[in-house]
Structure 1
Amino acid sequence: MNPVIVVPTFVSSRRRKDGGGVTTTYDHMTPISQSGELSRLFTSLQKVRGIGQIIVLVVSEPSIEVQAAEKIQSIASGYPSLNIAVIGAPEFALVQQRMEQLGLGKLSKEIGLSGYGAVRNLGLVMADVLGFDSVVFLDDDEVVDDADFLQKAMYGLGKLTKKGIPILAKTGFYFNSDGTYLSKSQDKWYNHFWQQGKAFNKMMARAMHGPRLSRSNHVCGGCLALHKEAFKRLSFDPWIARGEDLDYMLDLRMYGSDIWLDNQWSLRHLPPETESEGTRFRQDIFRWLYEFRKMEYSRTQIDLMQVKPSSLEPYPGPFLEPGITRRIRLTAFLRSLARPDKRAYRKAAKAATGEATTYAQRNCSKYFEFQFVWPELMARMENDQILRTALIQSAAQRQVNIDPGRAVPPQPARPAGIDPGVTSEIRLNIAE
């Protein structure tokens, strides 16, 4: 296969950023005056065998988008052995222009450099335009220790299980700073109604003791591989506040596919310390309430598979059941008594029955509407020579090396949808 690695990176104008809107508040952003973690990732990637094109998507505030791209380009230039393309606002403007020329509209909310889901969608569009047949998503705060990382990423992708099920999306897992893949979330009294870490650990323990590939209820967005027959059919959800990776698993199930966990594919996740736990919990509130409403809405659509919380045990099922609003309010209140950021937690508690609920109700159907557009968009953008040339020329102005030679030659567009006929007939020993 011919994979491209896509790495979103987030740059801010100042040390402390309290956040923007629902979808533009990020877990961490690197101040433009600091080096951040990206160079650490690049250093680790130098030893990965078979590594080809790397695309870095630069997310920043509009006021510093030029400086942010220049900063990331400066970092990338220090790794001449890596084929790194830095994609910032100028390149995104070219994508928008081409979409308009093709009659697809700008779709700036759905595809772009603002919001977790939209940024990942831009990465998928870039892969489609440049002709890659698979995408591997990494995060900028990770370290890859395994020289065979990319080979393991491709293991099973595009193959069939013994029952003939195509494997079109797979995830690995993270080791944290303690050297474990288990959540460090503490079982404290104030988390009585929010046992997210405990549920996650139970799920991971089950997966790690099973076969190499098994159906997964979880996704590590920074260790995620997608076959083109998946990403040409399904986009990420640009309306979710965070957790767009786990949401993608739910979307795959709704549209008749699945995601698989590879218990031999891993990396280290070493994020900087969270500046505001309360702000992050507020984003979780928007996330889970939106997800709950979205799943409820999906069950009213006759063309979607029914996904119930009971099929998602032990995680994330409990966070998608009725009563989630009450659990959120209780957890926010209890944490406000015992944790730092008391004011942020109290504000989060109010959001559960206020703006977060309203946001979920207003937006829960929009992803499904966008899905009517996405397959056609990807079919028309695939191997688009005009946009590819414009992107290469734009990249060359910043001395970025996009290697079109690694792209797959143009191929006839296939009908939208997941077609098991294009997958290999090799059948793997995998848990069904």
Structure 2
Amino acid sequence: MNPVIVIPTYVSSRRRKEPTSVTATYDHTTPLKNPGELPRLLTSLQKVRGIGQIIVLVAADQSTEAQAADKVQDIVSRFPSLNVAVIGAAEYGLVQQRMEQLGLGKLQKEIGLSGYGAIRNLGLVLANVMGFDSVVFLDDDEVIDDAEFLQKGVYGLGKLTRKGVPILAKSGFYFNSEGSFLSKSQDKWYNHFWQQGKAFNAWITKAMRGPRLSRSNHVCGGCLALHKEAFKRLSFDPWIARGEDLDYMLNLRMYGSDIWFDNQWCLRHLPPASASEGTRFRQDIFRWLYEYRKMEYSRTQIDLMQVKPQSLEPYPGPFLEPGITKRIRITAILRSFARKDKKAYRQAAKAARAEAVMYAQRNCSKYFEFQFVWPELMARMENDQILHTAIVQSVARRQAETNPSVAFPVAGPAAGVDPGVTSEIRLNIAE
């Protein structure tokens, strides 16, 4: 296969920011004047075999977009052995112009450099334009230790199981700073109604004991591989506050497909300390209430498969059941008494009473409306040479301005990691 690696990175004028819009509040951002975690990831990628094109998507405040892209380009210039294209506001503008020329509209909310889902959608559009047949998503706060990481990432992708089921999307898993794949679950009194870590641990412990590939109830967005037959058909949801990776799995199921878990594909996830646990939990409130409402709405659509919480045990089923609003609000209140970030937790509890509920009700149908547009958009922009050339020229211009002594070619599909065509996988797979 010819995978492109896509890495979103989030840059701000300072480390800690107050929440802005629901979808543009991130788990962590890198201050404009700090290198952040991206150099560490790029260093680790240098030893991975079969690396071809890498795309770094730069999300930044509107006032610092150009500076952020230049900063990331300066970091990238220190890794001449890697073929990295930095995509900032200038390149995104070219994508928007081309979509308008093709009569597809602006779609700024759905595809862009603001919000987890929209940013991933931009990565998919660029992969489609450049002619790659698969995408491997990484996060900038990760480290890869396995030289065969990419080989393992595309293992099985585009192939058929013994029962003829195509494998079009797959996820690996993370090791944390303690070298464990388990969540650092906190079985505290204030989490009595919110055992998310415990539920996840029950699921992944079973998955790790199973065959190499099995149907997944979980997705690691920073260790995610998508075949073009998946991403040309389904976009990410730009209206979800966070958890767009798990949401993609639910979308696949609703549209008759699935995602697979590979218990031999892994990396290390080493994020910086969270600036505000309370703010992150506020985003979780928006996320889960939106997800619950979206799943409820999907059951009213005759063209979608029914996905019920019972089919998602032990995780994430319990977080998609009736009563989620009350449970999450009580947890926010309890944490406001026990945790340091008291003000943020109180604001989170307040959001669960009204703001997050209204957001979910107002937006729960929009993803399905966008899905009528996405396949046509991808079909019309596939291998678009006009846009491809314009992006290559824009990227090359920034590269030359940042470091004129070093050339970083922006390629199309690279020499394949896996030259095999669609076939059956007969070993170590769960049907």
Same fold (TM > 0.5): yes
Contact 1:4 1:55 in 2 (8 A): yes
Q: Give TM-score, length-normalised by structure 1.
A: 0.96
Consecutive unaligned residues in structure 2, runs of 5 or more: 400-406
**Distance in 1, Cα, partners of 2:290 & 2:262:** 28
Cα displacement (A) at 1:407: 5.5
**Distance in 1, Cα, partners of 2:254 & 2:415:** 30
Contact 1:164 1:427 in 2 (8 A): no
Contact 1:170 1:261 in 2 (8 A): yes
**Residue 165 of structure 2: aligned partner:** 165
**Distance in 2, Cα, partners of 1:304 & 1:334:** 38
Matched, 1:428 2:426: yes
Residue by residue, what CA displacement relative to the aligned partner does 1:122-174 show, whole Å, maximum 9, x if unpaired? 00000000000000000000000000000000100000011000000000000
In structure 2, what residue type is equivalent to 1:28? H
Q: What SS does the corresponding residue of 1:50 show, helix, strand or coil?
A: coil
**Distance in 2, Cα, partners of 1:202 & 1:85:** 39
**Distance in 2, Cα, partners of 1:110 & 1:16:** 26
**Distance in 2, Cα, partners of 1:94 & 1:191:** 46
Note the aligned Cα RMSD (angstroms): 1.3
For 1:396-411, what aligned pairs fall within 5 Å after superposition? 396-399=396-399, 401-406=408-413
**Distance in 1, Cα, partners of 2:258 & 2:136:** 17
In the alignment of these two chains, the number of paired residues is 420
**Residue 64 of structure 2: aligned partner:** 64
Cα displacement (A) at 1:247: 0.1
**Residue 413 of structure 1: aligned partner:** none
Q: What SS does the corresponding residue of 2:164 show, helix, strand or coil?
A: coil
In structure 2, what residue type is equivalent to 1:175? F
**Distance in 2, Cα, partners of 1:310 & 1:325:** 18
**Residue 369 of structure 1: aligned partner:** 369
**Residue 135 of structure 2: aligned partner:** 135
Contact 2:174 2:266 in 1 (8 A): yes
In structure 2, what residue type is equivalent to 1:252? L
**Residue 384 of structure 2: aligned partner:** 384
Contact 2:3 2:413 in 1 (8 A): no
Matched, 1:301 2:301: yes
**Distance in 2, Cα, partners of 1:332 & 1:149:** 39
Matched, 1:45 2:45: yes
**Residue 80 of structure 2: aligned partner:** 80
Cα displacement (A) at 1:385: 0.5
Q: What SS does the corresponding residue of 1:427 show, helix, strand or coil?
A: coil
Contact 1:9 1:139 in 2 (8 A): yes
**Distance in 2, Cα, partners of 1:306 & 1:408:** 40
Residue by residue, what CA displacement relative to the aligned partner does 1:194-242 show, whole Å, maximum 9, x if unpaired? 0000000000001000000000000000000000000000000000000
C-alpha distance 92-167 of structure 1, shift in aligned 2 (>3 A)? same
C-alpha distance 405-7 of structure 1, shift in aligned 2 (>3 A)? closer
**Residue 276 of structure 2: aligned partner:** 276
**Distance in 1, Cα, partners of 2:423 & 2:221:** 28
**Residue 404 of structure 2: aligned partner:** none
**Residue 31 of structure 2: aligned partner:** 31
Cα displacement (A) at 1:11: 0.2
Contact 1:53 1:402 in 2 (8 A): no
Cα displacement (A) at 1:111: 0.1
Once the two structures are overlaid, the 10-residue window that deviates more, 332-341 or 228-237, is 332-341
Matched, 1:117 2:124: no
Cα displacement (A) at 1:180: 0.2
Once the two structures are overlaid, the 10-residue window that deviates more, 13-22 or 275-284, is 13-22
C-alpha distance 103-343 of structure 1, shift in aligned 2 (>3 A)? same
Matched, 1:261 2:243: no
**Residue 196 of structure 1: aligned partner:** 196
In structure 2, what residue type is equivalent to 1:265? W
Cα displacement (A) at 1:19: 2.2
Contact 2:130 2:412 in 1 (8 A): no
C-alpha distance 407-126 of structure 1, shift in aligned 2 (>3 A)? farther
Contact 1:159 1:428 in 2 (8 A): no
**Distance in 2, Cα, partners of 1:27 & 1:87:** 21
Matched, 1:156 2:156: yes
Matched, 1:215 2:215: yes
Cα displacement (A) at 1:265: 0.2
In structure 2, what residue type is equivalent to 1:41? L
**Distance in 2, Cα, partners of 1:122 & 1:212:** 30
Q: What SS does the corresponding residue of 2:310 show, helix, strand or coil?
A: helix
**Distance in 2, Cα, partners of 1:408 & 1:108:** 33
Contact 2:153 2:225 in 1 (8 A): yes
Cα displacement (A) at 1:353: 1.6
**Residue 107 of structure 1: aligned partner:** 107
Cα displacement (A) at 1:15: 2.8
Cα displacement (A) at 1:382: 0.3
Once the two structures are overlaid, the 10-residue window that deviates more, 281-290 or 347-356, is 347-356
For 1:284-299, what aligned pairs fall within 5 Å after superposition? 284-299=284-299
Residue by residue, what CA displacement relative to the aligned partner does 1:355-380 show, whole Å, maximum 9, x if unpaired? 10000000000000000000000000
Q: What SS does the corresponding residue of 1:136 show, helix, strand or coil?
A: strand
Cα displacement (A) at 1:405: 4.7
In structure 1, what residue type is equivalent to 2:183? S
Cα displacement (A) at 1:428: 3.1
**Distance in 2, Cα, partners of 1:405 & 1:228:** 15
**Distance in 2, Cα, partners of 1:407 & 1:257:** 28
Consecutive unaligned residues in structure 1, runs of 5 or more: 410-421
Cα displacement (A) at 1:343: 1.1
